[in-house]
Amino acid sequence: MGKIIAITNQKGGVGKTTTAVNLAACLNYHGKKVLLCDFDPQGNATSSLGVTLGKHDLTSYEALIGTQRTELTIKHTRHGDIMPCGMDLAGAEPELANMQNREYKLREALEQIRDKYDYILIDCPPTLGLLTINAAAAADSVLIPIQCEFLALEGVAQLIKVFKAVKANMNPKLEIEGVVLTMYDSRTNLSSQVAEEVKRYFGAKVYHTMIPRTVRLAEAPSFGKPVIEYDKYSRGAECYLSLAEELLSRNEK
């Protein structure tokens, strides 16, 4: 049974998609069977892996709503499988609102294919709405990227509140997988202050690997490649490989 990890933070631009795409590619590189589930209507994870959608391509929207079998929505790439996403997912929330078990639709969709993977990573949208609730209700754990910037922890209390509510009411096994500091800049005091503050809050949940701010990581998506393909020997590639190793060693000891 694959472990389902929701990569979530309701703040936009903190590195969720960058982490989802590169962690998926690095877990795949380490020999794991990985599915990246793009669950943000922006579809950035989809395009970051070089997948472009035609009119008839099925996406996470159909899997979620349940009009198609989940496996029909999945595409294979050289960095693992992806369930792509397009703008139609943006219209899913009002549709879900009238459905029974509306919080469990993604869980039902992923149950169908779960045994084919070691890890399923969900790239969440920057909200705490019904899509993110579906992701948390489907997941075994949440991985929280936090950007090393002023007010980094702002909003985290609210995120944890939602996490606790989902755990209490829908998904008692939900855990915090880990917290990854992103866009770390070793030249600034601010980055190290934020890192200290986040470690005080989350303790041992914070990964030793911090993701630096690097041009390569920002460039790679426009070439439709994860950084381990775009520039294998870059620091960004090295750090996401090491983050994947940390995640594996926490899970496979």
- Binding site partner of 227, from ligand ADP, Mg ion, none, Cβ cut-off 5-8 A by kind: none
Could you give the C-alpha distances from 108 to 66, 103, 105, 138, 193, in angstroms and in order? 8, 10, 5, 8, 41
Segment lying near Mg ion (by CB under 5 A), choices 15-23, 69-77, 172-180, 203-211: 15-23
What residues does 123 pair with on adjacent strands? 7, 38
- Binding site partner of 221, from ligand ADP, Mg ion, none, Cβ cut-off 5-8 A by kind: ligand ADP
Q: Which of residues 28-87 bind Mg ion (CB under 5 A)?
A: 44
- Smallest CA-to-CA distance from 39 within 138, 179, 154 is with 138
- Smallest CA-to-CA distance from 175 within 81, 253, 251 is with 251
Angle CA(233)–CA(238)–CA(242) in degrees, nearest 5? 155
> Which CB atom, from 89 or from 113, has the smaller least distance to ligand ADP?
89
Q: Which of residues 35-94 bind ligand ADP (CB under 6 A)?
A: 44
12 binds ligand ADP (CB under 6 A): yes
Q: What is the distance between the alpha carbons of residues 127 and 132, in angstroms, rounded to a whole number?
A: 7
User: From the CB of 238, what's the least distance to ligand ADP, in Å?
Assistant: 12
Provide the token pair at 237: 């590639």
17 binds ligand ADP (CB under 6 A): yes
Provide the token pair at 145: 């990227």
Pairing of the two strands 75-77 and 80-83: antiparallel
User: From the CB of 22, what's the least distance to ligand ADP, in Å?
Assistant: 9
> Which CB atom, from 118 or from 214, has the smaller least distance to Mg ion?
214
User: From the CB of 192, what's the least distance to Mg ion, in Å?
Assistant: 26
User: From the CB of 249, what's the least distance to Mg ion, in Å?
Assistant: 26
Phi then psi for residue 57, to 5 deg, are -70, 135
Of the candidate residues 221, 237, 240, 247, the single one contacting ligand ADP (CB under 6 A): 221
17 binds Mg ion (CB under 5 A): yes
Q: What is the distance between the alpha carbons of residues 8 and 100, in angstroms, rounded to a whole number?
A: 24
Binding site for Mg ion (CB under 5 A): 16-17, 44
Sites of contact with ligand ADP (CB under 6 A): 12-18, 44, 126, 182-183, 211, 213-214, 217-218, 221
